[in-house]
Amino acid sequence: MRLKSPLLLGRWLFAIFLSVLLTVQVQAQRQQFELACIAFYNVENLFDTINEPGKMDLDYTPEGSYLWDTEKYQDKLTKLADVIAVLGTEMTPHGASVIGFAEVENRRVLEDLAAQPQLADRNYGIVHYESPDFRGIDNALFYNPAHFEYLSSRALPFNMEREDGSMERTREVLLVTGKLHGELIHIMVNHWPSRRGGEEATRHKRIHGAKVNRAIVDSLKSIDPMTKIVIMGDFNDDPVNQSMTKYLKATGSVAKMQEENMYNPFYEAFKKGLGTNAWRDSWSLFDQIIVSYGLAKERGEGWRYYKAEIYNDRKMVQRTGRYAGYPFRSFVGGQYVGGYSDHFPVFIYLVRPTQ
């Protein structure tokens, strides 16, 4: 048998390699994907103008200290709807399929927000429970019924025992279960206790919040270790704080994830100096969306985490004065200044193959 020369053999092997490479490239080009957007927004005291018994909402009435009237209320609704309408539309033209909220007074304000012209055609469904928060603010969730099939929801207590034995009650953890374009997913909406009184003095409250969320995650994962969970909220802690890293077990690295870990895509953003809210010339990234191992490490054909963003359009930034560069908020020093919120919203994209 006559052997081919090394040169001819090399050309022959290269031709095979090129043929395989081109086949893979063609198959990759034929592979199509779909995207979904999930968002969170602390809307800064979205109150209606009605004094509701049992709530500390007198300031948010025409006779209250903020002189909160229908014109101001409608202005805020319009501005919030302007923002919500564009979240995620760069890659998902239909916008956010699911969006969680903090600091809403009641279901009425959510209905008014969903009815704004910018949002009305999405027919957002509403999930809301009245919380025991002393300020009268709650967590809530919008879902687009064309994308998300609502299955169930619960408001899970956020109760802490004080030193005197009494219970401190605040915003509950909202757990919503549904199917995002046919695939089961669990979404948790949070608003953890603030740092009022000092970060160290109040740290235990946010650690408690992390433990509550971790218990829910462990319960869901006991049924299916790869179940898909999204935890969102205003945590009043940054991605590097103990509540996140130690107690919620949220890491900033997909590569280093273990099965018990959550993945926090906003960890690296915080390390780069980005933030969602500012205080005393310092940025914090309290608003985050965190995903479970099943979303970060999906190996099959289901939804998988793709990317995360902070939405801080120029119109939402204070242009002048003492707070120049901060989020353009609704209130400063007890005066309505006509902004959006003291927080920027955040959102993530999920991706999955369609064939």
Q: Which two three-digit tokens encode residue 201?
A: 């003095």
**Which are the contacts of 223, defined by CB distance < 8 A and separation ≥ 6?**
none
- Give the integer Cα–Cα distance in Å for 323 and 236: 20
- Residue 11 has what pLDDT? 58
- Residue 26 has what pLDDT? 40
8 A C-beta contact, residue 39 and residue 99: yes
8 A C-beta contact, residue 232 and residue 286: no
- 256: pLDDT confidence band, cut at 50, 70 and 90? very high
In DSSP terms, 126 is beta-bridged to 142
**Worst-scoring range by mean pLDDT, 268-272, 322-326, 331-335?**
331-335
Residue 318 lies in a domain: yes
In the 8-state DSSP scheme, what is residue 121?
Answer: G
Residue 262 lies in a domain: yes
Strands 173-180 and 183-191: antiparallel
- Residue 53 has what pLDDT? 85
Residue 191 lies in a domain: yes
Report CA torsion sign: 343, 177, 223, 227: negative
The residue with greater pLDDT, 169 or 10, is 169
Compute CA distances 206 → 107, 189, 302, whole Å. 26, 14, 32
- Residue 4 has what pLDDT? 46
Residue 129 lies in a domain: yes
Chain centre to alpha carbon of residue 166: 32
- Residue 8 has what pLDDT? 47
* Degrees to nearest 5, angle at CA 40 with 173 and 215: 30
Residue 25 lies in a domain: no
8 A C-beta contact, residue 171 and residue 137: yes
Please check the confidence at residue 21 and state whether its pLDDT lies above 70. Answer: no
- Residue 61 has what pLDDT? 95
Average pLDDT, the chain: 91
Q: What percent of the chain has pLDDT over 70?
A: 91
Phi-psi region of 315 (alpha: psi -120 to 50; beta: other; left: phi over 0): alpha
pTM higher than 0.75:
yes
List helix spans (H) across the chain.
Answer: 6-30, 70-86, 107-114, 199-223, 242, 267-271, 293-296
Residue 5 lies in a domain: no
The residue with greater pLDDT, 14 or 171, is 171
Instruction: Find the largest Cα–Cα distance for the chain.
Output: 102
- Give the integer Cα–Cα distance in Å for 246 and 241: 8
8 A C-beta contact, residue 289 and residue 348: yes
8 A C-beta contact, residue 277 and residue 268: no
What CATH number has the domain bearing residue 208?
3.60.10.10
- Give the integer Cα–Cα distance in Å for 177 and 230: 10
Please check the confidence at residue 314 and state whether its pLDDT lies above 70. Answer: yes
Q: Which of 141, 133, 189 is nearest to 159 (CA)?
A: 133
Q: Which two three-digit tokens encode residue 61?
A: 């009435």
- Residue 10 has what pLDDT? 52
Phi-psi region of 144 (alpha: psi -120 to 50; beta: other; left: phi over 0): beta
Average pLDDT over residues 267-278: 96
- 338: pLDDT confidence band, cut at 50, 70 and 90? very high
- 331: pLDDT confidence band, cut at 50, 70 and 90? confident
**Which are the contacts of 301, defined by CB distance < 8 A and separation ≥ 6?**
352, 353
**Worst-scoring range by mean pLDDT, 15-29, 178-192, 242-256?**
15-29
Please check the confidence at residue 28 and state whether its pLDDT lies above 90. Answer: no
SS (H, E, C) 310-340: ECCCHHHECCCCCCCCCECCCEECCEECCCC
Where in the sequence is the domain holding 114, given as residue range(s)? 36-349
Residue 192 lies in a domain: yes
- Residue 2 has what pLDDT? 44
pLDDT in tens, 135-166: 899 999 999 999 999 999 999 998 887 777 77
Amino acid sitting at position 181: H
Average pLDDT over residues 335-352: 95
The structural domain count of the chain equals 1
- Residue 299 has what pLDDT? 82
pLDDT in tens, 62-108: 999 999 999 999 999 999 999 999 999 999 999 999 999 999 999 99
- Give the integer Cα–Cα distance in Å for 235 and 189: 10
Q: What percent of the chain has pLDDT over 90?
A: 79
Residue 11 lies in a domain: no
